[in-house]
Amino acid sequence: MNAPVTPLGITVQEKYYGDQKGMTLYVSDKDVDGKSNCDASCQASWKPVLADKGDKTAGQWSIVKSTAQWVFEEKPVYTFAQDEKIGDIKGNGADGAWHALAYSPEKGIQTPYGVSVVDVPNASAQALVDLRRFSVYALQTRKSVDDLMCKRGAKCSSVWKPVVAGQLANPLGDFTIAKRGDGTLQWAYKGQPLFTYFHDAASGDVRGVDVDPRLHLAIVRTHFMPPSVVIRDAPGVGPILATAKGMSLYLREGYRDTKVGTHYTRAGSRGAPAFGRMLGTAGCDSDCLRERHPLAAPSDARSTGQWSVYTRDDGTKQWAYRGYALYTYVGDKSPGQLSGSNQFQYRYNHTKVTAVDMRLTQALYWHHMYP
């Protein structure tokens, strides 16, 4: 099983790691070998981030037994008292020793030339990619890589391309070199030869998953995802988030114009996290709730990775992804439907709306949530 990117209670806030509330985490150059050198006076500004009872170490994250403080790669982590909101990094560079803990998929992983580690949202994981940043797959078989066959008997050489290693390449960390029958060299990760898939058309595509049971996406670490959520392919749309029963999940996003005379364009298909946090659960009022059902979170759910937990006015918990509260739509009658997308609500400040006024219109719109 792949190591998780974050343990429970540690979040990812775009460029930096955060605590349960999303506040930026920091490390200090004065802390070495996993031990904190921040005394009581220091802790007035730098608050140790503590694990809850029962929390377990995960991947790059460990816990100091005596204090229950979280440690990232032998560096105890803290929040800064002067940070006021998610995204603040006011403590970065303080005293020349304090640094905001940057989120970097490649951190802690040695990769050879031609291979790197990136976030692959469509798989909810950090995974290997090639020079083009196309997804890389690993072969789980002891048979010769030259004998690899795909479903329906097609020769894999037509769709599975080896990740080639240079003739002077040397093993590095978990990366070794496999020799093919034609004499070329191929990279292997943890003993498994690496390939790309011909039908992946762009960075982030993972179309090779489930094509052959012997090949799997070369995942390094796995992002948290609520048990009630899955990633599924929607025809004509691509991977989206859905409930475990296959019902599409939606967010409410801002809508804006770029300039006079052009059509409206949305701010981003995955949304701007700051806008999502600003809306919170207020993006769906009592009238809205007749058609949109919040994605319920357990009463004891905790914000983790890119997932956060909002508390609604009635006290119930709701899952949010990248800052956006998620909902299902009553108009979707069966798994796979997307009838709740591209629904708009306009807010006008004019008694009469003209074509010119349209560019000043404020609006919110619903669309399906991408991973």
pLDDT in tens, 49-105: 999 999 999 889 999 999 999 999 999 999 999 999 999 999 999 999 999 999 999
The arithmetic mean of pLDDT across residues 341-356, rounded, is: 57
With CA atoms as reference, report the closest residue to 288 among 241, 325, 240.
325
Contact by Cβ (8 Å): 127, 120? yes
Arithmetic mean of pLDDT, 321-345: 92
What local confidence, expressed as pLDDT, does residue 354 receive?
A: 46
Q: What percent of the chain has pLDDT over 70?
A: 87
Q: What is the pLDDT of residues 298-324, one digit of tens each?
A: 999 999 999 999 999 999 999 999 999
Task: Read off the pLDDT band of 258 (50, 70, 90).
Answer: very low
Per-residue pLDDT of 109-138, as tens digits, reads 999 999 999 999 999 999 999 999 999 999
Q: Which residues neighbour 101 within 8 Å (Cβ) at sequence distance 6 or greater?
A: 16, 17, 24, 25, 26, 27, 72, 75, 77
Q: What is the pLDDT of residue 15?
A: 94
The pLDDT-based confidence of 183 (bands split at 50, 70, 90) is confident
Q: What is the pLDDT of residue 261?
A: 44
Say what the alpha-carbon torsion angle 48, 54, 59, 60 is, to the nearest 10 degrees.
10
CA–CA gap between residue 175 and residue 263 (Å, rounded): 49
Q: How far is CA 290 from CA 294, 318, 325, 330, in A?
A: 11, 16, 16, 8
Quick: pLDDT tens for 259-285.
Answer: 444 443 443 467 789 889 988 998 888
Q: What is the pLDDT of residue 146?
A: 57
SS3 per residue for 38-95? CCCCHHHCEEECECCCCCCCECCEEECCCCCEEEECCEECEEECCCCCCCCCCCCCHH
Residues 6+ apart with CB under 8 A from 292: 250, 284, 327, 328, 329, 330, 340, 366
